[in-house]
Amino acid sequence: MTILAYDLGASSGRALLGRLNNGKIEVEELHRFPNDPVQVGDRLHWDILRLLHELKQALLQVKHRGIELESIAIDSWAVDFGLIGSNGELLGNPYHYRDHHADGVMEQVVEELSATEIFAKTGIQFLSFNTIYQLAAMKKADSPLLREAKHFLMIPDLLRYYLTGEMFNEFSNATTTQLYNPVAGSWDDELIRAIGISPELFGTVVQPGTKVGSLSASVCEELNIESVPVYAVAEHDTGSAVAAVPALDRSFAYLSCGTWSLMGTEVQEPVINELAQQLNFTNEGGAYGTYRLLKNIMGLWVLQECRRSWERAGITYTFPELVKLAGEAKPFAAFIDPDDPLFLHPGDMPARITEYCLRTGQPAPTETGAFVRCILESLALKYRFVLELTEQLSGQAFGGLHMVGGGIQNTLLCQWTANAIGKPVWAGPVEGSAIGNMIVQWIASGQIADIWEARKVIRDSFPVDVYEPQQPEEWENAYGSFKQKTGIA
């Protein structure tokens, strides 16, 4: 039997078929599509109906090929959401987390409610685009959408609703809102009311592995297909990616590498204390009662946005071409902190890197390869910094780093990460989020016993590339220079 995993990233989406064959996982890409945001005036939105259209195109391909599906599930990025009105229709296009509508709101909310109180209730790191601040921004703007809203659904919840007609909030994504209390195991009504929102908007929270409906009669009639069960998985794509880490040791560090980089470790209970708040770590829900003690790092977004800037100027590069140019550029010429607010929003990223370097007294890159090398070396060195914080906070010492996700196709970044941390990097699988999505479906249907059996199956099914650290003295010196130039400590 075959299952279908929809994996929606911040720049592209994919539909993949999964099969278990003699104890090994077979993955086939069925449909891939861009996920481009749409600028409307001053606002940046997700094109949610286009995404729904693409999900349906994948179902049509399944039908045309005569494939019988056993189940379906969706994972996506976090924090963003849609609001449903009393007639069951979506009220407005969901905002993109890189939109400016919530600028400055986090600082206002923290001043009104106190960071200590918010962190004690939620265990979630403070990021300006968290759901709590987006909702608070809408409330402060007296958004008519909030006045009419009856239901709050995050992106996978919303797409599931379109496919099944059923409304549920999934656990791993709910925790990223900074409105869910992991100790109480429910939405934090007091916190929700404190930002002026009705708790009645927020629905039942279900755990990964829960059946949350089947393809609706209207969808089946439209596409002329049979109904199929739909499961909630770890619907935050990082939650699915971590479920797919092929670790054999229960103490492990991971890096989910893509548009965002998310680094941390898996824990059984949220770590909510003064040090976690001080280091701005987060406790996001995972599969099967776990939590992801992690920190967000800006990731390959900076490089992706540079590439778009060059394309707008009429110069087109493939990512392999950019990596080749980086390898030929002078090492350690300039550093950025990828998490500087300067790099959050879309725009002329090479100009922003130049601005950052001039601001910090460094020679700015002038050639394409130098820009790319600056980004990749800075990412690798920031990974070391965050890995050290993860060890400090978790009280664990990790023998290496598991890297999963599309970013591991950048072999230069994998090698430089190993060099920076001075430990081996184990890279694989590439489609980590989709595979994590699949294994929760298989566990739910009883075909795999539990998450640890699943991780062994993943290890047996997909190659893991090992990168051993090189040039230890040069990278140690570079780390000191990186911290000094960027001011991180």
Sign of the alpha-carbon torsion through 354, 360, 365, 371: negative
Neighbouring-strand partners of residue 295:
263
Residue in 442, 328, 335 with CA at minimum distance from that of residue 379: 335
User: Mapped to the 3 state alphabet, what secondary structure does 50-115 carry?
Assistant: HHHHHHHHHHHHHHHCCCCEEEEEEEECCCCEEEECCCCCECCCCECCCCHHHCCHHHHHHHHHCH
User: Mapped to the 3 state alphabet, what secondary structure does 249-306 carry?
Assistant: CCCCEEEEECCCEEEEEEECCCCCCHHHHHCCCEEEECHHHCEEEEEEECCCHHHHHH
Catalytic residue among 99, 157, 188, 237: 237
CB 460 within 8 A of CB 23: yes
Question: How do strand 291-297 and strand 261-267 relate by DSSP bridges?
Answer: antiparallel
Side chain identity, residue 466: V
CB 255 within 8 A of CB 242: no
Q: Which helix (H) or strand (E) holds 22?
A: none
Cα 371 from chain centroid (whole Å):
24
Between CA 199 and CA 206, with CA 201 as vertex, the angle to 5 degrees is: 95
Is 188 in the active site? no
| Structure tokens, 110 | 């923290």
CB 41 within 8 A of CB 15: no
Q: CA-to-CA distance for 295 and 387, rounded, in angstroms?
A: 9
Catalytic residues: 237
